[in-house]
Amino acid sequence: EAQVTQNPRYLITVTGKKLTVTCSQNMNHEYMSWYRQDPGLGLRQIYYSMNVEVTDKGDVPEGYKVSRKEKRNFPLILESPSPNQTSLYFCASSAKDSLGTEAFFGQGTRLTVV
Amino acid sequence: GESVGLHLPTLSVQEGDNSIINCAYSNSASDYFIWYKQESGKGPQFIIDIRSNMDKRQGQRVTVLLNKTVKHLSLQIAATQPGDSAVYFCAVPTRDTGRRALTFGSGTRLQVQP
């Protein structure tokens, strides 16, 4: 089954404690990205990756890092989480020959930073 | 850049009725539009898309209409069912050079009354 898998689904952490949210896709997609979803603001792109070792900033990259060492994985790293990073996070992937759409989304990770 | 807005935050319909969800976009150069459905606790799921060289596209119980003159698109769901209850987003691809992202509207929550 084609899917994008995120872990964990839920996470509560304290300010300043480094964390990583993992994302893996089994569709051999070149493109992957991270979005955060906040009430009234919709989904906003944090970072994206066009292929292995190629990453770049999206609309709201501050406070986040990513890496793309393998095609299937695209972890999101919060080096020093702050309460304003409390949000619902989605990883997405799409094929290089798609029409620029992020057709496959993960189930989401709800992060709370206290 | 693009901006996308939805006309109603919530739409309540009776089971069996038709639903119409509206969306407006700002960039007249936008040439591709996508509708996503997000059920509670899940990530956005692709429903249907349409290119700007089309006015209408039909899927299974869903139809998307595009009016480029007024920069408006709509999603019509025929014979709405309880399983259609979700938040619906329209989205357009971002056109930054080399970047792949989607600009999402704020979403319309569809509530289906039995």
Residues of A with CB under 8 A from a CB of B: 4, 31, 33, 40-43, 45, 48, 50, 56, 58-59, 90, 92, 94, 99-108
Going by pLDDT thresholds of 50, 70 and 90, the confidence category of residue A42 is confident
| B104:A43 CB<8 A | yes
pLDDT tens for each residue of A43-85: 999 999 989 999 999 999 999 999 999 999 999 999 999 999 9
Residue B36, strand partner residues: B46, B89
pLDDT tens for each residue of B24-34: 998 888 888 99
Other Cβ atoms less than 10 A from the Cβ of B75: the count is 26
Selecting from A41, A101, A108 the residue whose C-beta is nearest the C-beta of B102 gives A101
